[in-house]
Amino acid sequence: MVEAAAAFVAWLGASVVVLSDGRRGLALGVALGAAGIAVIALDVAGPIAAGSIALGGLVAAAGRLGSGREGWHIMPAGSTPRLVLCIAAGLLALWVAAGVATGPGAPLRFTAMVVIGLSGARVLGGEDAPVLFTATGLLALSVALAAGTGLNAPEPWPFLAAAILAGSIAWISPRPVRAA
Amino acid sequence: MQPEAVELIVLAAAALAFAVAFSPRAASRRELLGKGSVGIVGAAAIAAVPTFDLALFVVLALGVVHSVVEGKRPLALRLRGPVVAVTLLALGAVFARVQGPDVLERLAAVGIVAGLAAAVGVLPYLHPIDPEEQLTSSPVVWLAFVGPVLAAVIVERSQSFLPVDAAGAFGALLIGLGLVNVVWGGAAAWLTESEAAAWRYSFVADWGLVLCGLGLIVADGQRAAILVLFSIVLCRLPLCLVSLEAPREKAVTRRPVNLVVAAALAGSAPFAGFAARLLLLRAATQLFWPLAVVLAAGMLLWLPGSLRLGRSLGLPKGRQAVGVALVLAVNVAVGLYPLPLLLAAHL
């Protein structure tokens, strides 16, 4: 039950990242996503992995609060396609994780698939650096879950690497593109 | 580290040394050395990490670093390729590892092949280019510098978790995608207006042969793939650099040197590309002979594009002439006697 709730929180976090344009919304999304992933990682790979993900998500959220568009900007005008994407991705991942795939670990499968998919989609649809780097950081955290899929006792290294990557990316301030 | 990856890292380092030694401008040389060294370290890290998943993190980190390097394309365009690649590869890994019906295994193969295409920047995930952009921040970095190591690592590591039943689908997808890239890349290198785009498409066409070679599970296919990767890193990339680095000094000419360069780019005898094509046709004949016929027809598409790219070098002078002569000599040597290269890769 706890894992199912964590998977829902992770989906919610990834959806907030998809639906937000402001720094607070993005920070909230990455924090929620990391919290959900950390709870699942605790069950899959132990406390070191879970702690790494939680810390990485916290650093990423803090970094995002420092740069980007002011405010929340959750579901701004014209974001209906993004909302449909979040719901459709959630339903599709739920069907594949719980209906098509077999064996234990449905919340892990669901979280890995939906967060990876939504983060990748956010980068495809985004233009602003804070949005792109937030989604990339969340993608890194979810790729660690992919490493834990199907293994009995995954090592904590992918989770540590994901945390370092997600925490670092959020603090990058790219130089503006030069005019041609 | 797998031997093919080590060999490709050494080749990439040699290409970087060539670029630094024969670049026409001192400022460009310093920049190439700095940014190229980062690329070499990244490629080495992709090969050195012990698991497929850790390699994905290195690709993601390298993609972020490459996207923030000063360049003319928007950040979003530069970041999309590596991020989409990691997304598809990670989804492929998830599908491969979960229990379930056969369709999940096939989806895993689709994810990994599509992720590989997105990482390298071949069809259907061509990275947009800007003709005015420097080579260090352009998609050529993925096509010719980091991409070969990445492809070798992804194909080798994915075998460890792809189910046996999915291996056939994996090979078939590589061959199918390879053929599409051969035809599209060859035709576009010939017909596109922009010279920079023509070079990019010529890399894409070469990658088509690499994908076909990797998809053919016989030994000759793997040997052909490593030889085409050699010709990408130590023939096409240096010649592309020579052609694009000094645009104001060159004029389109039809001198003997342009024909020789065109022959090297087209994979004619005695250059390395010829040995690769022979091995590829032999591998295809062993597996399914009509594939060899299709490949042979596709290989004819290299000729007009290569003649065009050969002419674009103009008449190399001084330092650049030495560089072109060196590239041609190395490619003739490998074309005539490819065994040391293949032995180093344990093929």
Query: pLDDT for A126-159, tens place per residue?
Result: 888 899 999 999 999 999 998 888 766 678 889 9
**What does the block give as tokens for A87?**
């719901």
Q: What is the pLDDT of residue A175?
A: 60
Instruction: Count the residues in chain A.
Output: 180
Residue A99 falls within a domain, yes or no?
Answer: yes
Q: Is A165 on the interface with B (CB under 8 A)?
A: yes
**Calpha distance B275→A33 (Å, rounded):** 51
Q: Is pLDDT at A51 greater than 60 in this prediction?
A: yes
- Pick from B58, B59, B98, B158 the residue to mutate for testing the A interface (most A CBs within 10 Å): B98
**Calpha distance A73→A100 (Å, rounded):** 36
Backbone φ/ψ region at B346: left (φ over 0), alpha (ψ -120 to 50), beta: left
Q: What is the pLDDT of residue B181?
A: 95
**What does the block give as tokens for A150?**
């199907």
Q: What is the pLDDT of residue A179?
A: 46
In terms of Cβ atoms closer than 10 Å to its own Cβ (0-12, 13-18, 19+), residue A103 is exposed
Q: What is the pLDDT of residue B125?
A: 86
- Domain encompassing residue A16: 2-169
Q: Is A151 on the interface with B (CB under 8 A)?
A: yes
Q: Please calculate the CA angle A61-A64-A67 and round it to the nearest 5 degrees.
A: 160
| CB count in 10 Å sphere of residue B191 | 12
Residue A180 falls within a domain, yes or no?
Answer: no
The share of chain B scoring above pLDDT 70, in percent, equals: 97
Residue A91 falls within a domain, yes or no?
Answer: yes
Q: What is the pLDDT of residue B202?
A: 93
Could you say which of A116, A151, A161 has the minimum Cβ distance to residue B57?
A: A161
Tens-digit pLDDT profile for residues B161-219? 888 888 889 999 999 999 999 999 999 999 988 888 899 999 999 999 999 999 998 89
**Mean local confidence (pLDDT), A44-67:** 92
* Least Cα separation, residue A162 to chain B (angstroms): 7
Which residues of chain A neighbour B64 with C-beta distances below 8 Å?
A: 133, 136, 169, 172
- A72 or B26, which is more confident: A72
| CB count in 10 Å sphere of residue A110 | 25
Residue A60 falls within a domain, yes or no?
Answer: yes
Residue A84 falls within a domain, yes or no?
Answer: yes
Q: How many domains does chain A have?
A: 1
Q: What is the pLDDT of residue A180?
A: 42
ipTM for the whole complex: 0.94
Could you say which of A103, A112, A142 has the minimum Cβ distance to residue B99?
A: A103
Tens-digit pLDDT profile for residues B244-291? 775 555 555 678 888 999 999 998 889 999 999 999 999 999 988 899
Tens-digit pLDDT profile for residues A71-97? 888 888 888 999 999 999 999 999 999
The 3 state secondary structure assigned to chain A is CHHHHHHHHHHHHHHHHHHECEHHHHHHHHHHHHHHHHHHHHHHHCHHHHHHHHHHHHHHHHHHHCCCECCCCECCCCCHHHHHHHHHHHHHHHHHHHHHCECCCHHHHHHHHHHHHHHHHHHHHCCCHHHHHHHHHHHHHHHHHHHHCCCCCCCCHHHHHHHHHHHHHCCCCCCCCCCC
Q: Which amino acid is at A17?
A: V
- Domain encompassing residue B291: 3-344
The residue with tokens 């690497």 is A161
Q: Is A31 on the interface with B (CB under 8 A)?
A: no
**Mean local confidence (pLDDT), B32-50:** 91
Q: What is the pLDDT of residue B221?
A: 92
Q: What is the pLDDT of residue B26?
A: 63
Does the distance separating the beta carbons of B56 and A123 come in below 8 Å? no
B107 neighbors B162 (Cβ within 8 angstroms) = no
Q: Is pLDDT at B224 greater than 90 in this prediction?
A: yes
In terms of CA atoms, which chain B residue is nearest residue A139? B87
What average pLDDT does the structure give for chain A?
90
- B76 or B247, which is more confident: B76
Which residues of chain A neighbour B104 with C-beta distances below 8 Å?
A: 96, 100-101
Q: How many domains does chain B have?
A: 1
- B23 or B247, which is more confident: B23
B15 neighbors B237 (Cβ within 8 angstroms) = yes
B94 neighbors A112 (Cβ within 8 angstroms) = yes
Q: Is pLDDT at B29 greater than 50 in this prediction?
A: yes
